[in-house]
Amino acid sequence: MNCNEQKQWQIAMDSEMKSLKKNNTWQIVDRPKDKEVIDVKWVYKRKNKNLYKARLVVRGFQQQEYIENVYSPVGRMQTLKILLSYSCKNNLFIEQMDVETAFLNGYVKTEVYINEPEGYETGDNKVCKLQKALYGLRESPRAWYDCFNKFIDQLNFVRSNYDYCLYVNNASKDSIYILIFVDDRDLLICCKDKNKIYKVKASLMERFSMKDLGQIKHYTGIDIHYNDKRDKMTLSQTQYIESLAAKYNLENAKLYDTPMESNLKLDQAIEIDERIKYRNLIGELLYISTGTRPDISYSVNYLSRYQSCYDQTHYKYAIRILKYLYKTKDIKLTYCDDIEGDTLDCMVDSDYAGDNIDRKSTTGFVIRVYGNVIFWKSHKQNTVTKCSTFAEYTAMSEAVTETLFIKNLLRETFEVELEKPINIYEDNSGAIAIAKFGNFTKNSKHIEVQYHFINENYENGIIEIVKIDSNLNLADILTKGLEKTKFLRNRNALRLI
């Protein structure tokens, strides 16, 4: 409050206090003698277009009293991409709304007292007894979710059993879908009939204080461009990549065509170099890799294995990934409605004993809906396998598990019934034989029973195991560092354009 922008921050604080009082967030009472009183603090942020935002936040970590049921559902990233791919395929409108002071809509079920906000004290040793949830309070996300869920149920929306943040209204011909991200307070409304979207918006705005953001453009940190015909969509994180490049001073640095060297093998550092922000950088890269860039998933996953034993060498290779991203910042994950092929399929691969420290293998798989990449994963397997066949079989088990989850979500919420078995593309003949025919020989007896459900699903006609050439397996980019030509070919096949 001593800076040159004092006036703007004061206006922002006054606006926040006005919202708090309008929502009857608390009562002013005498300070209790036998109850804990939690501190609050002001959090300031300057948003786009010079918008000054001040938020009053509870120091929730000071809460000593045990509180049951504080968990709040959070929308899955693959659910968002399934909804986007489905909307693009069926040419749905996608509108976005932002809930202002979302957490203030939920009621506090426990007795909570906070100190008066700095700059707005009334004196006389008074405190605030909370009636509504406030940011930072442990139960706030859950209180807001329960409030929203109760209201949306009155509008005849049904919650998905596979993702509690996804809702559908099938009361008429054109279904309406709502996806809410509790932490970001943003929600999407999708429907082929725009008038129905307007009616839902009106109902929501009558109940909650909300901003109508129009057609989707930026959601959960992802820039989304949806063309006017609603048959093509691109997802990117260009702005975030540029901000990281500025943060790490990479504007004039040497850039790279690939995120990592092929066949890179690193050793554990003897001592952690505390001078570098290695873990911060890995976290920032993970956010990008799970959002829109499957091409860096393996390299980020590999380097994340050294977060307790890193030094300057590991940091150098992490920075190389960011340099690659900065050079390819304009690449976008592309969704189209004109792709012919399966409604749902999966490509899976494994790199046998790829970790030079513990000899564990790496699993990688890509799942597509209507030919659009909606989920990918790269991670080290939990157990050591005796040969490449069993490493591939273990990877296939994880891929089938996730694929069946998506199949059930498509059937239940989007009413998409798959007429044919789901194609699982695999390039290892031994793993295919075990999956198809249950060749549980003396050499495969050690495989855990949990992985053998693949054969059961194959026998029941739910999945089909398809042999694919290794050079055509897109999941290869998720299991190892590839040389430039093969890397670029796989990247383009993932529709990163």
Whether the pLDDT of residue 442 is over 60: the answer is no
Count of Cβ atoms closer than 10 Å to residue 380 Cβ: 16
Q: What is the pLDDT of residue 184?
A: 65
Report pLDDT digits (tens) over 86-145.
999 999 999 999 988 788 888 888 889 999 999 999 878 899 999 998 988 888 888 899
Q: In this structure, is residue 334 part of a structural domain?
A: no
Domain end marker among 220, 250, 274 = 220
Q: In this structure, is residue 230 part of a structural domain?
A: no
Same domain, 367 and 457: yes
Q: In this structure, is residue 332 part of a structural domain?
A: no
Q: What is the pLDDT of residue 49?
A: 66
Q: What is the pLDDT of residue 122?
A: 85
Same domain, 322 and 361: no
Same domain, 168 and 300: no
Q: How many domains does the chain contain in total?
A: 3
| Mean pLDDT computed over every residue of the chain | 91
Q: In this structure, is residue 405 part of a structural domain?
A: yes
- Residues 134-158, mean pLDDT to the nearest whole number: 92
Domain end marker among 280, 300, 327 = 327
Same domain, 199 and 276: no
Report pLDDT digits (tens) over 59-75.
988 887 767 777 888 88
- Residues 198-226, mean pLDDT to the nearest whole number: 94
**Residue scoring higher pLDDT (274 or 458):** 458
Whether the pLDDT of residue 82 is over 70: the answer is yes
**Residue scoring higher pLDDT (218 or 64):** 218
What's 471's domain CATH number? 3.30.420.10
Q: What is the pLDDT of residue 451?
A: 62
Q: What is the pLDDT of residue 336?
A: 93
Report pLDDT digits (tens) over 319-334.
999 999 999 999 999 9
Same domain, 309 and 454: no
Q: What is the pLDDT of residue 149?
A: 94
Same domain, 36 and 63: yes
Same domain, 310 and 347: no
- Residues 429-447, mean pLDDT to the nearest whole number: 72
Cβ-contact 40, 80 below 8 angstroms: no
- Residues 402-416, mean pLDDT to the nearest whole number: 96
Same domain, 209 and 83: yes
Domain end marker among 305, 327, 349 = 327
Least confident of 119-128, 279-288, 470-479: 119-128
Same domain, 132 and 254: no
- Residues 20-26, mean pLDDT to the nearest whole number: 90
Whether the pLDDT of residue 313 is over 90: the answer is yes
Share above pLDDT 70 across residues of the chain, in percent, rounded to a whole number: 96
Whether the pLDDT of residue 425 is over 90: the answer is yes
Whether the pLDDT of residue 440 is over 60: the answer is no
Cβ-contact 216, 96 below 8 angstroms: yes
Task: Report how far residue 152's alpha carbon sits from residue 230's, in angstroms, rounded to the nearest whole number.
Answer: 26
Q: In this structure, is residue 229 part of a structural domain?
A: no
Task: Report how far residue 266's alpha carbon sits from residue 285's, in angstroms, rounded to the nearest whole number.
Answer: 18
- Residues 168-187, mean pLDDT to the nearest whole number: 88
Task: Report how far residue 284's alpha carbon sits from residue 287's, in angstroms, rounded to the nearest whole number.
Answer: 5
- Residues 192-211, mean pLDDT to the nearest whole number: 94
Q: In this structure, is residue 226 part of a structural domain?
A: no
Q: What is the pLDDT of residue 447?
A: 62
Task: Report how far residue 191's alpha carbon sits from residue 168's, in angstroms, rounded to the nearest whole number.
Answer: 10
Same domain, 19 and 139: yes
Whether the pLDDT of residue 446 is over 60: the answer is no
Q: How confident is the model at residue 150 (pLDDT cuts 50, 70, 90)?
A: very high
Task: Report how far residue 10's alpha carbon sits from residue 27's, in angstroms, rounded to the nearest whole number.
Answer: 23
Q: What is the pLDDT of residue 439?
A: 62
Q: How confident is the model at residue 251 (pLDDT cuts 50, 70, 90)?
A: confident
Strands (E), 20-64: 26-30, 37-38, 40-47, 51-58
Q: In this structure, is residue 190 part of a structural domain?
A: yes
Same domain, 441 and 387: yes
| Nearest CA among 162, 219, 72 for reference residue 414 | 162
Q: In this structure, is residue 225 part of a structural domain?
A: no
Q: What is the pLDDT of residue 417?
A: 93
**Containing domain of residue 151, as a range?**
6-220
Task: Report how far residue 22's alpha carbon sits from residue 14's, in angstroms, rounded to the nearest whole number.
Answer: 12
- Residues 223-246, mean pLDDT to the nearest whole number: 95
For 232-253, the DSSP string reads EEEEE-HHHHHHHHHHTT-TTS
Same domain, 172 and 244: no
Q: What is the pLDDT of residue 472?
A: 94
